[in-house]
Structure 1
Amino acid sequence: MPFRWPRQLLLLTLTVAFMLPVVAVFASWLPWGDSGAAAAQILQEMSGTVLPDYVWTTVRLCLMVAVGVVLTGLSTAAVVTMFDFPGRRVFEWALLLPLAMPAYVVAYAYTDFLQFGGPLQTFVRNALGVEGRVFPEIRSLGGAAWVFTFSLYPYVYLLARTALGERAAHLMEAARLLGAPMRRRILEVALPLARPAVAAGAALALMETLADFGVSSYFGIQTFTAGIYKAWLSMDNRIAAAQLATMLLLLVAMLLFLEHRAQKRMRFSAARGGRAGAMDARPLMLQGRAKWLAWGVCGAPVLIGFVLPVLFMLRPLVADWSVLSWTQFLGWSMNSLRLGAISALLAVGLALVLAFNLRRRPDLPTRLAAQLVGLGYAVPGAVIVVGLLLPVGWLQSVAPQSSVGYVLTATSLGLIWAYLVRFCAVALQSLQSGYARIPASFDDSARMLGTRDMALMRRVHWPLLKRSTAAAALLVFVDVMKELPATLVLRPFNSDTLAVVAYQLARDERLGEAALPSLALVLVGLIPVMLLSRTLRAPSR
């Protein structure tokens, strides 16, 4: 196949750039010089000390989060889809609000309110006249599972709601007309059809749990992500960090495989169950106690995952405004906005080029580059950090005078690179969805009229892709604003972001000062959530 310049060079550059972190992590296991023996010795030492704790803690956390998000997401999706009650349309979008809350912000809010010296335990001790702890310690494995459950259940809620509303509704109505009771309709019709969607949502929630650093580090939970940073920053042992990153990457790959299988089964269910006739699948009207139970099922996740954390963070701000430093806050906000805008612009530009090439010439190099870019979102930030810094260490050991280390760590280049590896997949998915709505006949007609590639993009595709491009830029911008692990390590000196400052202040027990940057992140996160709720809003019945 001839080498088309510069298209093939761009695809090759993208492939190398997005694969370098993963390849570098796996390359740390290769027996280069003394590194092979050192890697084996470090792995043996970790196997007898910290590794079992990392594995057991991570597995227990994932199991608890999986059960929590499945129960919460599936129950709320079933209630708002299959039943009708006052306030149902409000809950349809309100149940998405926890998506705007970074999990580490929820952890800070609950710690400030529920810790031993917090207002709740202090009030209860004074009221009852007792000493000592009244409630269990929030900084625990159970507390982390609680935070992740009510921060990540919308993944299951969204997919399960789609499955129940679009695939199971008509079959549920057919079962009702055949005389099946509600219990049988739910157990034998709705749940089997929703199972692939629930599995896919749970896998996405678990990938976010494995990639988290803020909650596990703040709560002192010995997960793989916390172990990677401890090995790199505290022990200064890059081989141990790379080995832990490899194990974390294998866990994420397993979850990604399960998620892809679930997505295929969702498409199969849609193909088999999507044409069920023209019956009107009306939700069952609830009255009396059933109505109050529906309110409790839908209201509790919104209250726990969004309303209470926001109120907990507002309390110290209202009590003492003097803790705020508006000049510093403005600087942190500008750094976050600058990094978010640059990363969003570059990610959308790369995704637009790649999506256009997939549209025009879907050959093997183009499909491979798109698949590698699409997998970037599943790679945890800790793995990306290790994968970018390992080659820098190797290069500096060979060429001590090289300035590569300075360029990647003392400027924003390394950080933006990490952002692109992690979040370019978000932009690509949005643009591919936009291209799916453009008929191929438009391209054929333009080509018959003599329109070339750049003119086709400018005159035909771009006017139809403006909304998808804006959505892609917004999603990447918000993800960059909230990103913590890579920013914490790769940020340049004196360029803290809102996420980093919120983490550092909370770690220093300055939770009142951490409230303002945390609330700013929540406010930014509300923008895509509200747009998503408008997109998914069901038509009036």
Structure 2
Amino acid sequence: MIVQGPEPVSAGPPRLRDRLYGILGHATASLVAHRHTRAVSPAWTAIVAAILAAVALPITTVVWLALNPADNIWPHLVSTVLPGSVARTLLLSGGVATLAFFVGTATAWLVTMYRFPGREILDRLLVLPLAVPTYIVAYCYVEMLDYAGPVQTHLRAAFGFTSVGDYWFPQVRSLPGAILILTAVLYPYVYLTARASFAQQSVCVLEVARTLGRTPLATFVDVALPIARPAIAAGVAIVIMECLNDLGAVQYLGVDTLSASIYSTWVQRSNIGGAAQIATVMLLLVAGLFAAERTARGGARSHHTTGRYRAIPFQEIPGWKGVAAATLAALPFVFGFVVPLIVIAPDAATHLKGALSSGFLPAAGNSLLLATLAAAAAVAVALILAYARRVAPGRFVRNAGRVAALGYAVPGTVLAIGLLIPLAGIDNQVDALTRSTFGVSTGLLLSGSLFAITLAYVIRFLAVALAPIEAGLGRVSTNLDAAARTLGESALSVLWRVHLPLLVPPLGAAALLVFVDSMKELPATLLLRPFNFETLATHVYSLASIEQLEQASLGALTIVLVGLIPVLLLHEAIAGGRPGGSRTSG
């Protein structure tokens, strides 16, 4: 027996039926998406708002202090301190940015487009100066080039000079000396950004320029350089921000910049209101830098018109010309890394016992502790910001990452002022409450503690942690989130059970970058550390300031060696990033 089912009900012509099914499916998907959106707790947005408030706290405090000082010394600052400090800061930043632009772009173009002896090794070596803090390089060059240093000592012996009046030698402790020394350390920021941009450029565009009769130099100036302008502008902006943040090098070289003026006004003159007013001027310079960087970018964008990529066709530089090219390309690495290493490595080996007895081990332990705390906290905060943007993509949360990343542009001296006052206010309130209630003084719980330094590190280096974590999350398909949510998982459990196992590499990279930057940070540590608390950075600074660089060499060498790992990893990520080419071809 055949059982006949009901006849299908006709829904009209096929086109209309398909449209009805499409509308129904779209409505169902919208309903599911709406339910998932409603399932996301508003706590994510609240946490993001709290993070942004913490990032904005030091800036708000500095501006408030500048506008409401205990003693109004604006007239004194404007007439005496600010003109010279602003002028020296602009000259230093402008000089370093200009030299770093020429050195970084020239070496990046040479390494990217030409083949010569030692090119692949130099490609890696040129980034190594980033592992050496500016203040360590300044100490090394002063020890080597000062009047009592080996260079002038041998010069006097060779030519029979008996006093400084018998000959002329350039002063290393000067503004030109500071420009050259900071350039030797900071040019890799431009090199890395320019290298990445040149490696990603279309070979076809460059070949068309050559077929139209352009020389290699004209192709670089008229075609490659304008395309790379946004990336190079970003690298130059980072160089200027590092110049604004620098304290140890400029103090040691005798260049009274805004950062040094903030430190001396606060610590030596005990006038925190005046320091806040100088810090406000520095914030205005940072804002101007951001505006100039956006103008330099000019909204320029470039893209490939095809999905096919070809390896970059290297142009051979044969014979002595190739040797000369390799020598010129190696000079920045020699001045920025080899020379400082030649100074501190023998001193560290010779004075090892003295360095160990002068406080190296406690300082190393404190640095390890602080850097670990800062790395863990910064990675946790960056993960929250990046994931909140994924699960609660409102306009406020979307823009939160950009705002939080601005902390990297705030110099350490400004951060220190902006954090110390509110944290001290909280300590005073808690202390007054416990005194009146229990008759017990709590002392300093937040200000002058590890919490204050860790908070400063997190605010300053949050952008460093945020970049790799956002990139890692971007590579995880949103289908995984949708599948987990349909199985009843909450947004938090999806993060814990799905995303964290997939994000181990970017989380590790972010933690490593923050760890190393925290090991090198000097201004914020110097101003916020507890009494008698030394890190490797402050240990080296304190010994060098009393001309005991031999005892400081072991600490300086340790900072350099720790910094080598992330620098090389960063280079590998950038230099190997061209699609369609081998590692050596891009």
TM-score bin, normalised by smaller chain: over 0.9
> Is the 1:196–1:263 Cα contact (8 Å) retained in structure 2?
yes
Give the counterpart of 1:416 among 454, 459, 469.
Answer: 454
Question: Pairwise mapping of residues 46-85 of structure 1 onto structure 2 (< 5 A)?
Answer: 46-85=77-116
Give the counterpart of 1:383 among 390, 411, 414.
Answer: 414
How many angstroms apart in 2 are the aligned matches of 1:360 and 1:394? 36
> Is the 1:418–1:486 Cα contact (8 Å) retained in structure 2?
yes
| Match in the other structure for 2:254 | 220
| Match in the other structure for 1:210 | 244
Deviations 1:498-536, CA, capped at 9 Å, x for gaps: 000000100000011111100100011001012123323
How many angstroms apart in 1 are the aligned matches of 2:506 and 2:268? 43
Confirm whether residue 533 of structure 1 aligns to residue 566 of structure 2.
Answer: no
Residue 461 to residue 138, structure 1, CA distance change in 2 (3 Å): same
Deviations 1:177-224, CA, capped at 9 Å, x for gaps: 444332332222112212222222111100010011111111121100
SS at match of 1:18: helix
Confirm whether residue 468 of structure 1 aligns to residue 545 of structure 2.
Answer: no
Shift of 1:409: 3.2
> Is the 2:116–2:317 Cα contact (8 Å) retained in structure 1?
yes
Which amino acid letter does the alignment assign opposite residue 186 of structure 1? Answer: F
Question: Pairwise mapping of residues 295-310 of structure 1 onto structure 2 (< 5 A)?
Answer: 295-310=326-341
> Is the 2:124–2:571 Cα contact (8 Å) retained in structure 1?
yes
How many angstroms apart in 2 are the aligned matches of 1:274 and 1:126? 65
SS at match of 2:111: helix
Shift of 1:120: 1.4
> Is the 2:229–2:297 Cα contact (8 Å) retained in structure 1?
no
Confirm whether residue 96 of structure 1 aligns to residue 127 of structure 2.
Answer: yes
Question: Pairwise mapping of residues 131-146 of structure 1 onto structure 2 (< 5 A)?
Answer: 131-133=162-164, 135-146=169-180
Give the counterpart of 2:404 among 357, 364, 373.
Answer: 373
Which amino acid letter does the alignment assign opposite residue 142 of structure 1? Answer: P
How many angstroms apart in 1 are the aligned matches of 2:316 and 2:566? 31
> Is the 1:110–1:138 Cα contact (8 Å) retained in structure 2?
yes
Shift of 1:388: 1.3
Deviations 1:287-307, CA, capped at 9 Å, x for gaps: 134213311221000100001
How many angstroms apart in 1 are the aligned matches of 2:256 and 2:549? 22
| Match in the other structure for 1:150 | 184
How many angstroms apart in 1 are the aligned matches of 2:358 and 2:64? 45
CA RMSD of aligned residues (A): 2.4
Residue 448 to residue 400, structure 1, CA distance change in 2 (3 Å): closer
| Match in the other structure for 1:517 | 555
Shift of 1:346: 1.1
Question: Pairwise mapping of residues 324-335 of structure 1 onto structure 2 (< 5 A)?
Answer: 324-325=355-356, 328-335=359-366
How many angstroms apart in 1 are the aligned matches of 2:215 and 2:328? 22
Which amino acid letter does the alignment assign opposite residue 540 of structure 1? Answer: T
How many angstroms apart in 1 are the aligned matches of 2:199 and 2:245? 31
Deviations 1:253-291, CA, capped at 9 Å, x for gaps: 22223334556746x12x3x4648655530210013421
Confirm whether residue 243 of structure 1 aligns to residue 277 of structure 2.
Answer: yes
| Match in the other structure for 1:425 | 463
SS at match of 1:425: helix
Which amino acid letter does the alignment assign opposite residue 17 of structure 1? Answer: A
285-294 or 498-507, which moves further after superposition?
285-294
519-528 or 317-326, which moves further after superposition?
317-326
| Match in the other structure for 1:292 | 323
Deviations 1:325-344, CA, capped at 9 Å, x for gaps: 25832211110000011111
| Match in the other structure for 1:478 | 516
How many angstroms apart in 2 are the aligned matches of 1:321 and 1:278? 53
How many angstroms apart in 1 are the aligned matches of 2:538 and 2:309? 53
| Match in the other structure for 1:121 | 152
How many angstroms apart in 1 are the aligned matches of 2:483 and 2:43? 26
How many angstroms apart in 2 are the aligned matches of 1:405 and 1:209? 36
Deviations 1:108-136, CA, capped at 9 Å, x for gaps: 11111111101111111111111334521
> Is the 2:131–2:561 Cα contact (8 Å) retained in structure 1?
yes
Residue 460 to residue 495, structure 1, CA distance change in 2 (3 Å): same
Shift of 1:80: 0.4
Structure 2 unaligned regions, length at least 5: 1-36, 434-440, 577-582
Question: Pairwise mapping of residues 260-275 of structure 1 onto structure 2 (< 5 A)?
Answer: 260=294, 262=296, 265=299, 268-269=301-302, 271=303, 273=304, 275=306
How many angstroms apart in 2 are the aligned matches of 1:409 and 1:396? 7
Aligned length: 532
> Is the 2:430–2:442 Cα contact (8 Å) retained in structure 1?
no
Residue 364 to residue 149, structure 1, CA distance change in 2 (3 Å): same
Confirm whether residue 362 of structure 1 aligns to residue 381 of structure 2.
Answer: no
Which amino acid letter does the alignment assign opposite residue 7 of structure 1? Answer: W
Confirm whether residue 14 of structure 1 aligns to residue 59 of structure 2.
Answer: no
How many angstroms apart in 1 are the aligned matches of 2:105 and 2:163? 38
Shift of 1:4: 5.0
Q: TM-score scaled to structure 1, two decimals?
A: 0.92
How many angstroms apart in 1 are the aligned matches of 2:375 and 2:233? 30
| Match in the other structure for 1:437 | 475
Q: Which has the larger radius of gyration?
A: 2
Using the aligned pairs only, state the percent identity.
Answer: 39
Residue 103 to residue 187, structure 1, CA distance change in 2 (3 Å): same
| Match in the other structure for 2:235 | 201
Confirm whether residue 343 of structure 1 aligns to residue 374 of structure 2.
Answer: yes
How many angstroms apart in 2 are the aligned matches of 1:132 and 1:380? 41
Residue 492 to residue 199, structure 1, CA distance change in 2 (3 Å): same
Confirm whether residue 190 of structure 1 aligns to residue 224 of structure 2.
Answer: yes
Confirm whether residue 24 of structure 1 aligns to residue 61 of structure 2.
Answer: yes
Structure 1 unaligned regions, length at least 5: none
Residue 48 to residue 398, structure 1, CA distance change in 2 (3 Å): farther
Q: TM-score scaled to structure 2, two decimals?
A: 0.85
| Match in the other structure for 1:180 | 214
| Match in the other structure for 2:7 | none
